[in-house]
Structure 1
Amino acid sequence: MSEWKKMIEAGREILIARAVVDRTTSYGEFAAALCRRTGVAGFDFTTGAGRASMAYLLDRISEAAFEEAGGRLLGALVRNLGADDAGPGFYRLAARKGLAVPRTRGGRQLFWARHVCELHEHFAGIAGRPAAG
């Protein structure tokens, strides 16, 4: 399995686990969890290349899990520490997926907050279902 595929799968699992427990995560926390789980090198967020690599990874995770996430983007659960919304990549991908992204900052924050809430509700519902058997 390629390193990117390994990171996409592990990242998907990490973010779904966060959604189930009604939490978001910071870029740093997510990167650290990803490195622990996969053994891949860390991300250097002080460089444009490091930030671009994380944005690319979150896009791939969100794309891979879009249907599983009920038509929502798992990358919404990753935010800057202390920030009250997602990074610009989230909004670009949401627009590419045909979601109605508001133009104003306040509208975007509300769109993101609803998106996160819907992810939590979706995965909490799945986690609460009895196993098929």
Structure 2
Amino acid sequence: MHGRDEREWEKMIAAGREILVARAVLDRTTSYGEFAAALIRRTGCARFDFASGNGRASMAYLLERISEAAYAESGERLLGAVVRHPGVEDGGPWFCRMAVAKGFLVPRTRGGRQLFWAAHVRELHEHYAGRRRRSAG
């Protein structure tokens, strides 16, 4: 499993979920690099090598696992979508694959996919906005 054992994945899933919920509560997104750095600081796990195909695939795998674990609590949205692909402002290929697997109708054009991702992120932010209001009050 991408050079990590299940115990390490579980640790990263739990920490990653907390990081991404916090970003959603704050009405923010994060880049792959920012997310990976925060995750490594929090868990002490080995870093992701985004220069390699395996490194990118392992991050996609992690975001899929986080999204699956948080699916019900996130209003049946993919929590990993708050991690944006730099330069193109979308969730990356894993997001479209998982969205299709969950039954979402994903547009075929690049622009359509970007708009679909942006709407998905907005819905996550709206879903988690209640936590922001409760913590401020």
Tell me the TM-score normalized by structure 2.
Answer: 0.90
Give the CA deviation at 1:129: 3.6
Alignment-derived partner of residue 69 in structure 2 = 64
Question: How many residues are treated as equivalent by the alignment?
Answer: 130
2:85 pairs, out of 77, 80, 84, with 80
CA deviations on 1:73-129 (whole Å, 9 max, x unpaired) are 011111122332120110000000111111111211111010000000101123324
Q: Distance in 1 between matches of 2:116 and 2:17?
A: 22
Written as runs of structure 1 = structure 2, the 5 A alignment for 1:1-133 is 2-129=7-134
Q: Distance in 2 between matches of 1:107 and 1:49?
A: 28
The code of the aligned residue for 1:127 comes to R
Q: Distance in 1 between matches of 2:37 and 2:86?
A: 14
- The share of aligned pairs that are identical, in percent, is 72
The code of the aligned residue for 1:80 comes to H
The code of the aligned residue for 2:8 comes to E
Contact 2:17 / 2:66 at 8 angstroms: preserved in 1? yes
Q: Distance in 2 between matches of 1:8 and 1:29?
A: 16
Tell me the TM-score normalized by structure 1.
Answer: 0.93
Moved over 6 A (4+): none
The code of the aligned residue for 2:105 comes to A
Contact 2:26 / 2:132 at 8 angstroms: preserved in 1? no
C-alpha RMSD of matched pairs (Å): 1.3
Q: Distance in 2 between matches of 1:98 and 1:123?
A: 22
The answer for unaligned runs of 5 or more in structure 1 is: none
